[in-house]
A and B are shown apart, each in its own frame.
Chain A
Amino acid sequence: MSNLGTAGAKRSATHLLKANAWFVFAFLYVPIVVLVVFSFNDSERVNVWQGLSARWYGEALGNTQVISALRVSLIVAISSTIVSTVLGTAVALALDRYRFKGRRALDGTVYLPIVIPDITMAVMLLVFFAEAFKLIDTFGPRLTLGVTTVALSHIAFNISFVAVVVRARLDQFDRTLEEAARDLYATPWRTFRRVTLPLIAPGIAAGALLALTLSLDDVVISAFTAGPGATTLPVYVFSTIRQGVTPELNAISTLMLAASITLVVASLALQRPRSTTP
């Protein structure tokens, strides 16, 4: 009798857990599905379904403001990714390899941009640029906020993310391989080129893809550090949404979502240990 009782309790617990799982999935993904579905809605108004159409995608891509914002986004994302990948990898290597003065301090602070709230980081950078411009302007040039300052800000936070990902890869790296290369007549530089770099390359690529994604997605920091004419796509979306959601915004958001998911999946695939190097 008591056996049947516990079996019943077990069954209802299983049902509850199942229901909970579905609820969580719904909570996470229904808004995304709604966004994607309504981006194909052939209607002027977002909340009225009129039939399937891709017209808002055409509309979005024909909008010169959207295209110029996309251009700024890509310039910022690509340039900040390249610079932060090089610098972040260098930081990871330095922290992994060398014992130098201030190493512990750097080790503790290099990850700070990951935990600092975006808004704090944005204010920080804005104040920094204002002060720096004041100083530089005394020597003549008149500097203003623009694409360059947005890119510099993105480099500032992306270095940390790249450093974290590359260091994870370095943790699994067997230093004896470098000693073997040195023993086999390779100079330090050729050891790095032929042995170290190829083996940590998946980590560097993963870090770079993560940086690209974060740069393409950022709103707060970009909004603060962009001057006129340096509007990125997320900032453009954010500013137009104040006049109400349009189906065109749904289309743009869906495109950004697709780009982000692709990049994140690629990054995760590369981070899988020993996926490309058996």
Chain B
Amino acid sequence: MSSDAVTSASPPGADAGVPAVEMHGISKRFGDVVAVDGIDLQIGDGEFFALLGPSGCGKTTTLRMIAGLDIPSEGRLAIFGEEVASWPPDQRPVNTVFQAYALFPHMTVEQNIAFGLQMRGIRGPDADRQVAEATALVQLEGMEHRRPSQLSGGQQQRVALARALVNHPKVLLLDEPLGALDLKLRQEMQVELKALQREVGITFVFVTHDQEEALAMSDRVGVMSEGRLLQVGTPAEVYEHPANRFVADFIGRTNLLEGITESPSAVRLDAGAVVAAANGLAAGSAAALSVRPEQVRLHRRGETPAGAPCLDGVITDATYLGHAFVYTVAIGPTASASGTNTGERAATITARSETGSAALAAGEPVSVSWSPEATTVVAD
């Protein structure tokens, strides 16, 4: 299953035509440091694609290679079918929204937006009209003659967007464009950016370390770590069926229950119990069972449903969040009262349940269960 998830690298609408961005075996080394290590990726025309990963994972370098600001050490890179790996940035049909916007401080908003047009020799009324359109698109009318230093962070971000979009790039690259904004503005801009992408119909490639942002905004997500692309899929795919331990842990909150596979359809957990869980691994391999907190069901001890995997435990913490409870349940030999847990190592499970169901208190003996379809077995 995990290998399936990794290879589902083609976008939903990929068969419709030439991919917007196509990478084969792209690597980038800076001296002895391998920043990007053999990436294969296709991004479809009109897609909103997020490159997600912790800082230093190579996502920004990957974006810079598409922009032409870094040249790949090896591999092939095509934009709408054209091999561009060695092209300088000014000849590529892409534009970038930089992390700190990189607006020209000595130019007005209008001059910033017109820069790309000027460089391509578009001047006069035609340029004026396009600049006005772009200014209106990002709702900056009336700000044309201000300097970037006279704008708020959110306004600067709009200028950066307009300055890129006015050129009608085939692909728009965004490097953590919302990183410098405060939380509320960031959430507003997420919605706006997504609407903007639908309006202009341009392929967006978006770099972020914020998994919520990536899941909320993109059509597909590529998760990166240490220069490698670990998994590509829709937000639901990577969330529900993470390809490996890193992805499971990085995307959202999850419970990782360590164990050893017994058969392609069962895992023996270290915390005790053999549970049904489909996996593509050889029997006896070390693996972890990933169960999302909202998929964990809590039962008072003895009220467990038949058929579902079930572990006994004791609630050690109950946190009220308003819309939900988060429970921490200690699982394992010490917590076992009924004797069903035969493992030797203890584990904790985080469970989440909507408020409205009966509240449970710390210290209460419980059983936890989940439906086997809601879990994923991940290897390292």
Chain A interfacial positions (CB closer than 8 Å to B): 174, 176-177, 179-187, 190, 194-195, 198-199, 277-278
Contacts and interface: CB of A to CB of B under 8 A. Distances in A.
A172 B119 CA distance: 26
B104 A180 contact: yes
Contacts, number: 65
Contacts of A186: 90, 115, 119
Contact of A278 (B67, B68, B95, B149): B149
Top 7 closest A-B pairs, CB basis?
A184-B116, A180-B102, A185-B119, A176-B102, A278-B149, A182-B89, A185-B90
Given A179-B69, A184-B119, A185-B119, A199 B90 contact: no
Contacts of A184: 90, 95, 115-116, 119, 163-164, 167
27 contacts: A174-B100, A176-B98, A177-B102, A177-B104, A179-B96, A179-B102, A180-B103, A181-B119, A182-B68, A182-B69, A182-B88, A183-B67, A183-B68, A183-B89, A183-B94, A183-B95, A184-B90, A184-B95, A184-B164, A185-B91, A185-B116, A185-B119, A185-B120, A187-B90, A187-B119, A194-B115, A278-B147
B106 interface: yes
Nearest to A201: B106
A243 to B, nearest CB: 54
A189 to B, nearest CB: 11
B98 A277 contact: no
Contacts of B98: 176, 179-180
B106 A198 contact: yes
B25 interface: no
A53 B159 CA distance: 62
A225 B322 CA distance: 86
B105 interface: yes
A278 B67 CA distance: 28
Interface string B149-175: 110000000000001100100000000
Interface in B161-204: 163-164, 167
B104 A182 contact: no
